[in-house]
Amino acid sequence: MSLDHAALSRFLSAVHPYDALDQEALKNLMPAFRPQSMAAGQDIYRQGQPLEGLYLIHSGAVEVRDQNDVQISVLGPRNSFGERGLARDGIAVTSARTLEDTMLLVLPKSAFLRLVETEPAAAKFFDHSRTPKPKRPDLATSPVETLMARSPLTCAPGATVQEAAQAMKDRHVSSICITEGEALKGIATIRDISGKVVAGALPYDTPISQIMTANPLALAPSSIGSDVLHMMMERRIGHVPVTQGGKLVGIVTQTDLTRFQAMTSAELVSEIARAGSAADMAKVTARIPQLLVQLVGGGNRHEVVTRLITDIADTATRRLLALAEKKFGPAPVPYLWLACGSQGRQEQTGVSDQDNCLMLDDAVTEEDKGYFADLAKFVCDGLNTCGYVYCPGDMMASNPRWRQPVSIWRTYFQGWVGKPSPEAQMLASVMFDLRPIGGTTSLFQDLQQETLRLASKNSIFVAHMISNSLKHMPPLGLLRGFATIRSGEHKNTLDLKHNGVVPVVDLGRVYALQGQLSAVNTRARLEAAQGTGVLSQTGGRDLLDAYDLIAETRLEHQAAQIKAGSAPNNYLAPSSLSDFERSHLRDAFVVVKSLQSAVGHGKGMLG
């Protein structure tokens, strides 16, 4: 099979980043591509060999294998491969072979490097490192969709001013939008009613359409905060409707702007620290989804967003502990409340249950245990009220198994390490993520270091933990490089938790175990592993970049769901991503799978 000039042009024009090139640049690039037909089962290159250039699949299928000869990806038409090796002195870091008769377009290394150097779209597409983001959200530059209220109060043009006023009173708002169907016709405010109806002595059954501001100024969701501020200041108005295609989708008020500026994790922490009950705290934690939207919209990195959200859970836990002691009296012996799971790792998102336990001083008596049973139930019930739902596996301090003296906890850890059964692996994985939240931290410090030393020296236990870490695999498959869920409620989506971040979390835990690293946060573990040589510099950079991309994609997905009025989850449809986003996400999954393979073969490096 051969490609004429017109066919090659049509093909490249439908593949990113070539579709972003201007016609002259694409015309100049096309002669550099060399068609290469290969039969099924042929090696394209082997790991360690010099690369001819960048490979772009025109037709057929190619499998890519890592240095341990483990398949990490199957690629189809429009997929590229080989760019990672070109960035490393032109030496292949993987192996590739055809699975069926395949037509490749080979872009020589010199042409590839020239393309990346001269075309910003290509540089961005083939650069797998993270783009720095601003450190904090800013009102003036935040998208209007992160500022607006999504369910503005509405009424029909024929509604009376009394009906409109009553509706505003019931909703505790100061404006009402007048609509026909979904189209915005006008807006009326409390000031309109007081100034035009009351002061003008109009009857209360006057149609709202007679006093409304018809065809009011409106903004699109893609506008930014400064657009709202400037409009309000210039026009001396306090309410700006938000429309899209003529349809009313929200409204921004001066109250919304004030709330945005006050909506910080510090403000929520402050309110929770003063709360008098779990119900009061729940009113504050109910604002966490909007905080997530604001933090993500403001360009914060994923580890900052999850840390700030986890801080709120920590504060709620400590406040509940204080309220419990106020209700039941001072604790009879020292204790320590610890979190595990995502709270323990400081990686909570918009979807979180609770995982916790209680360590008690060895001086605790049977009578004292009744006090701690009451305290644990009070705190776990309170967390559930706040939206941190009960752990489905009952891994909570309210379960007597996870509310024990330090000596019993020591026995637990020694048993899990000494006899690594499947349950022991699971429990050890969870408990290696423990982080003190409230109480006497010294109860855990010695135990943590002791357990890390014991576990790292037990080669059988380490092998079992490595095996356990390979149970969650990145979703790489045939269709555009992804293996989506095949059936059920989340059919045709990717699970960005269990097949996205969890594989990296598991790797980080293994590295921490191998290096006796006390860090609990996943990114901190990866950085520490890289710094101590447990993970190679190359492998560390790749894995950090891959983790950042996957974790940020997950947060952006949740933020988009919240903005759309849906409950956030971890299930992303690849079809919602652009070619650019799909390509980079696939590459991130390939990196994770490669590091899993390296760990499985007793290596700590990629490439």
Rounded CA separation 138/299 (Å): 9
Q: What is the pLDDT of residue 489?
A: 92
In the CATH scheme, what is the code of domain 5-126? Answer: 2.60.120.10
Q: What number of residues does the chain have?
A: 607
DSSP 8-class letter at 12: H
CATH 3.30.460.10 location in the chain: 263-458
Look up the pTM and report it.
0.72
CATH 3.10.580.10 location in the chain: 144-257
Tally of CA atoms within 13 A in the half-sphere of 347 that contains its CB = 23
Tally of CA atoms within 13 A in the half-sphere of 12 that contains its CB = 28
Burial letters for 217-236: b for 16+ Cβ neighbours within 10 Å, e otherwise?
ebbebebbbebbbebbeeee
Q: How far is CA 347 from CA 306, 429, 457, 596, in A?
A: 5, 16, 28, 21
Quick: pLDDT tens for 461-495: 988 889 888 889 999 875 557 888 989 999 999 99
Nearest Cα to 155, choosing from 166, 164, 143, 168? 164
Asked whether residue 137 carries a pLDDT value surpassing 60, the answer given is no
Q: What is the pLDDT of residue 150?
A: 85
CATH of 470-600, one of 3.30.230, 1.20.120, 3.40.50, 3.10.450: 1.20.120
Within 10 A of 276 (CB to CB), how many other CB atoms are there?
10
Mean pLDDT over each residue of the chain, to the nearest integer? 88
- Who's near 527: CB < 8 A, 6+ residues apart? 540, 544
CATH of 263-458, one of 3.90.480.20, 3.30.460.10, 2.60.40.650, 3.30.450.20: 3.30.460.10
For residue 356, name the pLDDT band (cuts at 50, 70, 90): very high
Q: What is the pLDDT of residue 130?
A: 45
Structure-model confidence comparison of residues 334 and 145, the more confident one? 334
Q: Are 182 and 154 in contact (CB under 8 A)?
A: no
Structure-model confidence comparison of residues 513 and 359, the more confident one? 359
In the chain, the amino acid numbered 58 is: H
Q: What is the pLDDT of residue 604?
A: 45
Say yes or no: domain 144-257 is CATH 3.10.580.10. Answer: yes
Rounded CA separation 418/444 (Å): 20
Q: Are 496 and 472 in contact (CB under 8 A)?
A: no
Asked whether residue 428 carries a pLDDT value surpassing 90, the answer given is no
Quick: pLDDT tens for 21-75: 888 888 889 999 999 999 999 999 988 888 888 999 998 888 888 777 777 777 7
Quick: pLDDT tens for 506-545: 999 999 989 888 889 999 999 999 988 999 988 899 999 9
CATH 2.60.120.10 location in the chain: 5-126
DSSP string of 206-224? SBGGGTSEES---B-TTSB
Asked whether residue 89 carries a pLDDT value surpassing 80, the answer given is no
- Tell me the average pLDDT across 238-252: 91
- Tell me the average pLDDT across 565-592: 90
